[in-house]
A and B are shown apart, each in its own frame.
Chain A
Amino acid sequence: MTPLVQLTRPSRAPKATVACTINGQSVQVSEGTSILAAAATIGVTIPTLCWLETLTPVNACRLCVAEVKGARVLAPACNRAVESGMEILTDSPRVHLTRKLVLELLASSVDLSCAPELTALMDAYGARPERFGPPAPANAAGTKQHAVAGHHAPPDPAFAATTSEPPTVDNELYVRDYAKCVLCYKCVEACGTDHQNTFAIAVAGRGFDAHISTELGAPLPDSACVYCGNCIAVCPTGALMAKREFDLRAEGRWQPEAQHAADTICPYCGVGCTLTLHVQDGEIVKATSPMDNAITMGNLCIKGRFGWRFVQSTTGR
């Protein structure tokens, strides 16, 4: 029996293999593999911040830089493809210095208290953000929103400028805390072309005043936001946080170590999204979906992300 046409997925041409060295060790990977992925094949971990397996690399944080011998500047390991004959160093003095500075520059301007991975890296790289002086007093709400591109007030020599602003709580589902935003672009990508394509948020402003914003800086309920929470799911620093978690943290009752999680299937339509329910004290406190799930890639809609309250509603059950 021969089929009339090819029935299966049109095959893609097999990729050539390229050989390079990473920290002196020979590595062979298929063409197009990033330095990050190539390093992982030999057990070399490169720190990342703005990279996520489900998002297009934006190479904005520069934490993953690696040294390619002969290149003028360092290369972002998350996006730079390995080329044949490349000699790559992932922990040279240049790499170490740039990573340390990236961590210091971030920590001196952003509240990293909800980003334990970053604070651990700071210890590992000997980052001392206090070198830039004491952090400036908190900015008023909307400071970045009202800044004008290409202009800034002269610096105050007594302080290091920060991004701090009071958290924006303008709806019952999530909180935006610009003081914690490292501008990794993950939320913009998740809301935009990589997944949700709602484009409720984008980067606005320029330079140090660049920030994530809705249209005209409007409150979320006046924006295009559809509350899928796919931005929260990818936020690495807690700058975007479900209101429930925000409130529990404020009450000192958020205890990740006391939570357990179970994977089930969202009840709200027939797509079959895996829901990971995070349970604390017998109560669901958060819903996520695994990043490596082929159906969701970590995404959910408003119903899946927030619609589970009914099972623990005290009225009616």
Chain B
Amino acid sequence: MFGAGGGTSSYEEVEDTDVVFLWGSNAREAHPIWFHHLLKGIRRHGTRLYVMDPRRTTSAQWADQWLGLRVGSDIALANAMAREIIHAGLANTAFIANATEQFEVYAGAVESYTLEWAEPVTGIPADVIREAAHAFAKADRAMVCWTLGITEHHNAVENVLALINLTLLCGHVGRWGSGCNPLRGQNNVQGGGDMGAIPNKLPGFQDIELDYKARQRFEAAWQCAIPPKAGWNLTQMFHAMERGALSALYVIGENPAQSDADAHRISALLEGLDHLVVQEIFLTKTAQYASVVLPAAASWCEGEGTVTNSERRVQRIRKAVEPPAGARDELAILSDLARRLGHEWGTPSAESVWNEFRTLAPHFAGGMSYARLESLGGIQWPCPDESHPGTQFLHARLWETPRAGRAAPFSIVHHDPPWEARDPEYPFLLTTGRRLESYNTGVQSSSYASPLHRGETLDISPEDATRLGLADGELVRVTSRRGTVDVPARVDASLRANLVFMTLHFPDDVATNLLTIDVADPRSGTAEFKACAVRVEPIGVGAVTLD
């Protein structure tokens, strides 16, 4: 945000902030140790927690106030808060004047988002929206933290921008204890971005199209020409396969056959490829479609390297055990592949690759030698030189007078409900999420004997269960416009009527993604996993024992 692709704050600040908006995140289960830092804030500092989530999750149970908004009404809620803050005279005018632009346009855009309008749209009582908005604005320091509840929507980027607007409005960014923070879902989501594994950036978030000098630096180092145009994101790749523009795919450590929305369609596309290479630690569902499978070592414990976490801390991973016979280090696989394609990369080590990165993204990582990463327990980027301690929070420049660098713009975003709405044919809204003990498509997490493991269920409100005559464990058929699955029902008081919930953890048993919709955000490429319309019908074949 504002030119840097990472969360602005450090975990330590979560323990010392006054108000946290945890928005579209069940961090208690999805980011348990980050939640420890939040709990320290709650217990020791007196942090007030507001949780925005359609379900009253285990995170929401810790909230001073739970705001159980309707699925996909995030922008409506954020803009209503913004309007309330502006009208109550609680906007941070000094910060806005110094650091931002387009405030007047923004204020005009949110003007119609009154509390009275927002109450029926979001479902949240006006007084609750008002109180939360005032608490956020009046706090000395406050932060917004979010996860997939914000980003797994067809308007993911706009959702994020709506939250960033709130922090700009109140001056809650660029200082200790204030900021906007996406919590990353995997140990190297952030690091992948850092290293350039996004379509429009070179390593170190240097823009491939706009940053001519950076491109030149890379071309010189790599002795090749770099096409000055952004690549495709995952969703765009599938679109390209659909129209025949993409016929060969190399997948490293990803399981799109099960992890992506509308699984029927994805499988057909993968099958239709001329050539599919899958580099994996397991023979996943995706690997089963592959022309070539390259068995890989599990980097996090069978290889060396670095990852970057949600506070921008670059951390070392180390080899603890040998990979199984035949599985190879990913860097070795890639180097061999390059050699076959006529490029001699030698036998690079993780450290030598990293050092090349440091020279090519010096402002970003110049100071992060392996030795320093080791001795400091990781370093938060940016860290330009070896005397730099790393950066605990970003964007302090916005507070400097005169401001350093360019202004942070308010973004004009408007409420845009989920692509699919409930209708008489599909009267339930299905939303998806994670459970504590499981992980994504269960490739890794299904291997240990957790007493918490229970298979997939359709979680349904007590009201709907009564209406449909359902008891725990009774099998139901769930149907969307794209597919059908049979799954046991589980009555869950954290849900309200017309809202049902499933996870994505058990695709081999219940392929939830047969139901989900693959309408995706055009900028992030993330599909709207959080909302699709479904029908729920008891099958009448009796119940299974849950857990």
Contact = CB atoms under 8 A, between A and B. Distances in A.
Indicate if A touches B (C-beta under 8 A): yes
Interface of A: 1-10, 171-173, 193, 195-197, 220-221, 225-228, 261-275, 277, 279, 282-284, 293-297, 299-304, 306-313, 316-317
A93 B384 CA distance: 58
Contacts of A8: 176
B12 A294 contact: yes
Interface in B465-500: none
B253 to A, nearest CB: 10
Interface in B503-545: none
A295 B436 CA distance: 19
4 closest A-B pairs (Cβ-Cβ)?
A270-B184, A272-B309, A301-B32, A172-B449
A301 B436 contact: yes
B312 to A, nearest CB: 10
Given A4-B98, A173-B449, A270 B186 contact: yes
Nearest to B62: A197
Contact of A173 (B43, B302, B450): B450
Given A265-B187, A302-B452, A311 B298 contact: yes
Contact of A10 (B174, B176, B281, B316): B176
Contact of A272 (B187, B298, B319, B443): B187
A246 B534 CA distance: 47
A173 B451 contact: yes
Contacts of B327: 317
B187 A316 contact: no
Contact of A3 (B30, B301, B309, B400): B400
Interface residues of B, number: 73
Q: Which of A5, A275, A311 has the most CB of B within 10 A?
A: A311
Main DSSP-derived SS at the B contact region: loop
Nearest to A219: B451
A284 B378 contact: no
Contact of B301 (A173, A264, A306): A264
Nearest to B140: A10
B318 A308 contact: no
Contact of A267 (B187, B320, B404, B446): B187
5 contacts: A4-B400, A265-B309, A271-B31, A277-B301, A294-B11
Nearest to A263: B318
Given A7-B399, A265-B315, A295-B11, A172 B301 contact: no
Given A279-B321, A295-B33, A1 B404 contact: yes
Nearest to B141: A10
A22 B327 CA distance: 59
A293 B183 CA distance: 19
Contacts of B407: none
A10 B18 CA distance: 13
A231 to B, nearest CB: 14
Contacts of A2: 400-401
B283 interface: yes
Given A226-B436, A303-B437, A307-B445, A269 B320 contact: no
A171 B437 CA distance: 15
Contact of A293 (B308, B377, B439, B445): B377
B94 interface: yes
